[in-house]
């Protein structure tokens, strides 16, 4: 069992999700002292992400190639992302193999977030301080002082905010979380928020042929997406374990049951309109939840202490928020975490006069500017994909789908979107 918090450290990471863990792993590889804390008792099990892109796998492989290999072993390699309409006509088939010349991971890895976190925690070891809820933050000369609900106090020169979209650390630092299109404060409960249901289910056998076992499939139209993502079942290789993402027009139950989920599949899932195959039947719900989403972006990613020399860096959902389209959230967070560790390393070297001619403040500003620009680009891409997912009646949705179908007939368009979705173009060279 890990002991109490130390009184001081170089870096304190607040949040032990994917972004915080990635930052910790990168700091450890650079031999930079850190402490990582989380408000939960232990572990993150209520996860929504189910997809890893090449960019995050490459980022983790740069720290430890075996870690990425172990993560890949937990999932299914989807070399194609398939989108169909209500009549099960192909809208497009995105071939991730088109990026094979640029990465060891020319696929989307279908694996739940909690499995990714489990692998990352194994490589960190017993270093996470669980059940440490941050209650206050103060400047202490050239450092920050963090006060926890337990009564413990920790000082650190660098603080990494990896505590999610409702980040308490971001609030304590007075960093605004804004809708990038309205520049207004992003707050929950807006009528424009999109509602989703996420559920891990076992589907009945035999599995209909219109539900692929090795490919992520999205069905668009009818007012919301129906996404099926096959997952490995460690308890039974023969079971039909799937993660469902269902866009819904209203507020769903807190933990939707099989009857609620089946009603959506019957109305606008595979087999609901084209009767060639039957609608998949839910045999058992293992876990389900609801969530609402809206775009949001921190107005800055770095906060410098008034006394100078101490910094707060935002990563992951604490820095940006968007819908689930394209499976970008966990990947952005992991890459943020690695980039934050690199910025801290460069800043420490510059402060010691060992930098590469770059000013220490410039290094932190560079992290903020670069990663914020990446997030804005991804938010724009996700918003466009979300409009496609919603579908709907009328000429505009029809023309949008038709235009995409025609565009994906051109190989270079497929390759361009696969590259963009992978996130490889956002990688910062060391």
Give, in degrees to the nearest 5, the angle at Cα 47 between 45 and 50: 125
Give the model's confidence band at 192: pLDDT under 50 very low, under 70 low, under 90 confident, else very high.
low
Same domain, yes or no, for 17 and 140? yes
Q: Is residue 405 part of a domain?
A: no
Residues 6+ apart with CB under 8 A from 29: 63, 64
Q: From 143, 156, 150, 112, select the one nearest 129 (Cα to Cα).
A: 150
- Please check whether residue 365 is in contact with residue 429, taking contact to mean a CB–CB distance below 8 angstroms: no
Same domain, yes or no, for 179 and 251? no
Same domain, yes or no, for 257 and 329? no
Question: Among 264, 293, 322, which residue terminates a domain?
Answer: 293
Residue 391 has phi, psi (to 5 degrees) of 60, -130
Question: Among 260, 276, 293, which residue terminates a domain?
Answer: 293
pLDDT at 395: 55
What's the pTM value of the predicted model, to 2 decimals? 0.92
Considering its fold, how many domains does the chain have in total?
2
pLDDT (tens digit per residue) in 141-178: 789 999 999 999 999 999 999 999 999 999 999 999 99
Same domain, yes or no, for 354 and 378? yes
CATH of the domain at 31: 3.50.50.60
Handedness of CA 290, 296, 300, 304 (dihedral sign): negative
Chain-centre distance of CA 340, in angstroms?
A: 16
Helix (H) or strand (E) holding 230: strand 226-230
Give the model's confidence band at 404: pLDDT under 50 very low, under 70 low, under 90 confident, else very high.
low
SS3 (DSSP) at 88: coil
Same domain, yes or no, for 205 and 178? no
d(CA 44, CA 242): 19
d(CA 186, CA 362): 29
- Asked if the model's pLDDT at residue 391 lies above 70, the reply is no
- Asked if the model's pLDDT at residue 221 lies above 90, the reply is no
- Asked if the model's pLDDT at residue 389 lies above 70, the reply is no
The arithmetic mean of pLDDT across residues 277-288, rounded, is 95
- Asked if the model's pLDDT at residue 36 lies above 80, the reply is yes
- Asked if the model's pLDDT at residue 430 lies above 50, the reply is no
Same domain, yes or no, for 268 and 387? no
- Kindly state the tokens that stand for 304: 């410098």
Same domain, yes or no, for 156 and 214? no
Give the 3-state secondary structure percentages of the chain, helix then strand then coil, rounded to 5: 35, 25, 40
Show the domain range for 198. Answer: 194-293
Q: Is residue 70 part of a domain?
A: no
- Kindly state the tokens that stand for 402: 């038709």
The DSSP output letter for 42 is S
d(CA 379, CA 369): 15
- Please check whether residue 282 is in contact with residue 258, taking contact to mean a CB–CB distance below 8 angstroms: yes
Between residues 146 and 290, the one the model is more confident about? 146
Q: Is residue 358 part of a domain?
A: yes
Same domain, yes or no, for 209 and 337? no
Q: Is residue 229 part of a domain?
A: yes
Q: Is residue 264 part of a domain?
A: yes
The mean pLDDT value of the chain amounts to: 89
Q: Is residue 69 part of a domain?
A: no
pLDDT (tens digit per residue) in 349-383: 987 776 555 678 899 999 999 999 999 999 998 88
- Kindly state the tokens that stand for 47: 């996860």
The arithmetic mean of pLDDT across residues 8-31, rounded, is 98
Cis previous bond, 206, omega within 30? yes
Q: Is residue 336 part of a domain?
A: yes
pLDDT (tens digit per residue) in 234-279: 776 667 999 999 998 888 999 999 999 999 999 999 999 988 999 9
- Asked if the model's pLDDT at residue 86 lies above 70, the reply is yes
The arithmetic mean of pLDDT across residues 85-106, rounded, is 92
In the block, which residue shows the tokens 């094979």?
Answer: 100
Give the model's confidence band at 188: pLDDT under 50 very low, under 70 low, under 90 confident, else very high.
low
Residue 159 has phi, psi (to 5 degrees) of -125, 130
- Kindly state the tokens that stand for 322: 């968007």
d(CA 348, CA 351): 5
Same domain, yes or no, for 259 and 308? no
- Asked if the model's pLDDT at residue 104 lies above 60, the reply is yes
CATH of the domain at 246: 3.30.70.2450
pLDDT (tens digit per residue) in 37-46: 999 988 765 6
- Please check whether residue 245 is in contact with residue 225, taking contact to mean a CB–CB distance below 8 angstroms: yes
Same domain, yes or no, for 381 and 248? no
pLDDT at 410: 64
pLDDT at 403: 64
* % of the chain residues with pLDDT over 90: 68
Between residues 258 and 308, the one the model is more confident about? 258
Q: Is residue 82 part of a domain?
A: no
Same domain, yes or no, for 40 and 122? yes
Same domain, yes or no, for 248 and 348? no
């Amino acid at each position: 069992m890990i002991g109490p918090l130390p009184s001081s450290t170089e870096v304190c990471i607040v949040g032990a999700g994917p972004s915080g863990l990635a930052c910790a792993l990168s700091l450890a590889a650079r031999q930079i002292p850190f402490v990582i804390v989380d408000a939960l008792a232990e572990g993150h099990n209520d996860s929504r992400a189910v997809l890893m892109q090449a960019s995050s796998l490459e980022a983790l492989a740069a720290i430890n190639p075996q870690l990425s290999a172990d993560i890949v072993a937990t999932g299914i390699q989807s070399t194609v992302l398939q989108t169909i309409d209500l009549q099960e006509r192909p809208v497009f088939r995105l071939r991730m193999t088109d990026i094979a010349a640029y990465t060891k991971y020319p696929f989307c890895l279908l694996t739940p977030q909690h499995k990714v976190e489990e692998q990352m925690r194994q490589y960190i070891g017993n270093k996470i301080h669980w059940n440490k809820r941050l209650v206050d933050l103060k400047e202490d000369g050239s450092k920050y002082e963090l006060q926890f609900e337990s009564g413990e106090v920790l000082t650190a020169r660098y603080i990494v905010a990896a505590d999610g979209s409702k980040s308490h650390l971001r609030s304590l630092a007075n960093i605004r979380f804004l809708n990038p299109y309205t520049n207004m404060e992003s707050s929950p409960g807006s009528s424009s928020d999109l509602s989703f249901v996420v559920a891990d289910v076992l589907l009945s056998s035999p599995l209909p042929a219109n539900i692929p076992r090795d490919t992520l499939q999205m069905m668009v139209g009818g007012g919301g997406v129906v996404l099926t993502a096959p997952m490995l079942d460690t308890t039974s290789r023969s079971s039909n374990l799937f993660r469902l993402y269902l866009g819904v027009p209203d507020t769903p139950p807190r933990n939707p049951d099989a009857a609620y989920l089946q009603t959506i599949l019957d109305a606008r899932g595979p087999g609901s309109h084209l009767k060639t195959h039957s609608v998949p039947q839910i045999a058992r719900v293992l876990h389900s939840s609801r969530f609402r989403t809206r775009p949001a972006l921190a107005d800055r990613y770095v906060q410098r202490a008034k006394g100078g020399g101490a910094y707060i860096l935002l990563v992951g959902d604490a820095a940006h928020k968007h819908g689930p389209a394209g499976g970008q959230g966990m990947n952005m967070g992991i890459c943020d975490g690695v980039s934050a560790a690199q910025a801290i390393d460069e800043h420490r070297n510059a402060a010691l006069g060992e930098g590469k001619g770059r000013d220490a403040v410039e290094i932190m500003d560079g992290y903020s500017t670069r990663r914020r620009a990446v997030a804005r680009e991804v938010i724009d891409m996700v918003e466009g994909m979300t409009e496609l997912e919603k579908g709907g009646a009328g000429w505009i949705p029809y023309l949008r789908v038709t235009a995409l179908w025609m565009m994906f007939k051109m190989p270079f368009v497929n390759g361009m979107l696969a590259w963009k979705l992978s996130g490889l173009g956002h990688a910062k060279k060391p």
